Structure 1
């Protein structure tokens, strides 16, 4: 009778295939329609656990079982924790008197993932290449890219075995258009979610400039502004505005410089009033347009003429004043030099005249007609002083108040002149 009952047992094992990461937990369920007399669990042929009607005989640190029986369904859960690499292979459940059911266990490794070089800043239009590196994975990982959340599909990665693990590389080439987030994804079946690495690509904008800067012009004159955009990709859209009023897009000219474009755009207008002039440049990647601004100042013709006249008058007046100043300085210097050149005789004559004028009229002498000049004059120069002396003592009589006097002790004298 018991043998007949055993033959009616139905055994079911699930899951039939499992993939887990090394160090995690793997669980399998084995169920029957009747209470099992004996249930055994094996890993790669090794007997790890025995279950009887009375319960589990040999729970261990890594292998365990728990009863999940419900009415009409006798179920036991077999758990391996933590899973090791040598656990990979076959896991079997056998019920006494029934068939052996086998499941497959895959033990996998999660490594690291990195986009080499980190964040990038590049000019628009430049073609660049990103490289993603996955280290220490098992089995060979699947690798893919996304840009701004948009999947670029799987890439053909290259893998190198290192022991039981794999190192894989994957590259992505793209043309820089706008600021973007770039992600590299790596996955193996045991992962519930993919591992990823993210970097940010920043597009370096070109430059924009209105040539010549601010301007001052006469009212009614027609002038031309030129706007220059350097280092853009793709060809930028260029437009003008005056005092905030758009003048529309302009027909700009382009010159390719490598993968970038240099563009020029001009605007002609007649000067009417003070204005702000703006040049705008845009590409699809920009959230807001780049711009350059200059200011146009308008002056009246008469005011401008007066300004020129005043400037010319001031210039000539300053030149004339400078000439007169130089001439006056030269004249004064020349006059002083001529004055310093007065001769000794002039000094003597001036001194005699002053002495004669100071002498009272009643004591003034008469000319000595018998005066004989000295045969020599002694000249001495001492510390810049010039002295003239005479040694002749001969004197003629002189008359004062109709009386004649003779004085041989009188000497003729000379004035000393300091030079």
Structure 2
């Protein structure tokens, strides 16, 4: 028989005589951490092959590892039971979740399962919890971005609360992680330290967050209500003032500006308002009625050569001059000189309606 064939036959017999004493166990690991798997075989083993999801990741030949990926490392132990080959997976990823197999290149192989988990954030929505004595308070605790959804429990002064007093709500996100909300309903009998805990298998101890439930007196609560109401009223008043200011500014902005012609027209109107309402002299007036009486109302204007007598009907005094044009009635100009003078009472004439001339002041 050729030597090469003899060697193959020896290796074949040896491989079939080796057995796995203890295969790998299931393991859970947090994302980014390390995962460990042990496989114990007979001392006379020849080749050990580690597979992840049916893909070879590490091969051990006569205690010498053949490493093809730096994330997969090897460590070994020897005991009375046999030879133990340990597979170490560094910086585990979510894609590593699956089967881990120890194979001896024979019919015998043992498989375990790797579960990569994610511990997210944990917080209590109520940063400050206050309540009147003997009232029920709802305290909300939220775990965000976990895989799988964590188991959530509550402690009240280090004692587990009744699960019936809490409500759990789980929501799956688009990225495959989970958000879990736990609401604890508790009666405020005394000041209590509340602890919300979230745990998954890969965590060595639960992740927790605490808040203190404080009992307040009714007066304190009334003060809080008064402050809240006062603040609301103040906010409403400020809002009304702001709206009023905005409306006023908009109206001022939209009001049309006067043109030059309008300004001139306004100035002319003001001048008319302050002008004398007496009007001008009516030179076309003459007296034809002998019953005219100067004593009913007159005025006199004199110069070197003449005296002018003006008559104004007193009935017109009650008329609003802003609505009726001014009417001035001139009696007549009487020439006077140094040789003769006439008495005002010698002239008693009535103005003829046919010869009254109306003059409007402009």
Q: So what's the TM-score if we normalise by structure 2?
A: 0.54
Match for residue 27 of structure 1 among 25, 36, 41: 36
Q: CA deviation at 1:123?
A: 1.6
Higher strand share: 1
2:192 is the alignment partner of 1:183: no
CA contact (8 A) 1:9 1:98 kept: no
Post-superposition CA distance 1:49-98 (Å, at most 9, x none): 11101501125320011121235511111010011100000000101235
Following the alignment from structure 1 to structure 2, what is the Cα–Cα distance between the partners of residues 86 and 128? 43
Instruction: Tell me which residue corresponds to 2:101.
Output: 92
Note the 1:17-416 alignment, pairs <5 A: 17-53=26-62, 55-58=64-67, 60-71=69-80, 73-154=82-163, 155-162=166-173, 163-205=175-217
Q: CA deviation at 1:12?
A: 4.0
In the alignment, structure 2 segments of 5+ residues that lack a partner are 1-8, 223-362
Following the alignment from structure 1 to structure 2, what is the Cα–Cα distance between the partners of residues 13 and 43? 18
Post-superposition CA distance 1:275-327 (Å, at most 9, x none): xxxxxxxxxxxxxxxxxxxxxxxxxxxxxxxxxxxxxxxxxxxxxxxxxxxxx
Following the alignment from structure 1 to structure 2, what is the Cα–Cα distance between the partners of residues 110 and 120? 26
Distance 1:183 1:72, change over 3 A: closer
Secondary structure of the structure 2 residue equivalent to 1:168:
strand
Q: CA deviation at 1:19?
A: 0.9
The number of aligned residues is 209
Q: CA deviation at 1:15?
A: 4.1
Distance 1:153 1:52, change over 3 A: farther
CA contact (8 A) 1:29 1:75 kept: yes
**RCO (CA 8 Å, sep 6+): is it higher in 1 or 2?**
2
In the alignment, structure 1 segments of 5+ residues that lack a partner are 208-229, 232-419
Secondary structure of the structure 1 residue equivalent to 2:95:
helix
Q: So what's the TM-score if we normalise by structure 1?
A: 0.47
Following the alignment from structure 2 to structure 1, what is the Cα–Cα distance between the partners of residues 168 and 113? 27
Structure of greater Rg? 1
CA contact (8 A) 1:13 1:102 kept: no
Query: How large is the RMSD of aligned CA atoms in angstroms?
Result: 2.1
Q: CA deviation at 1:153?
A: 4.5
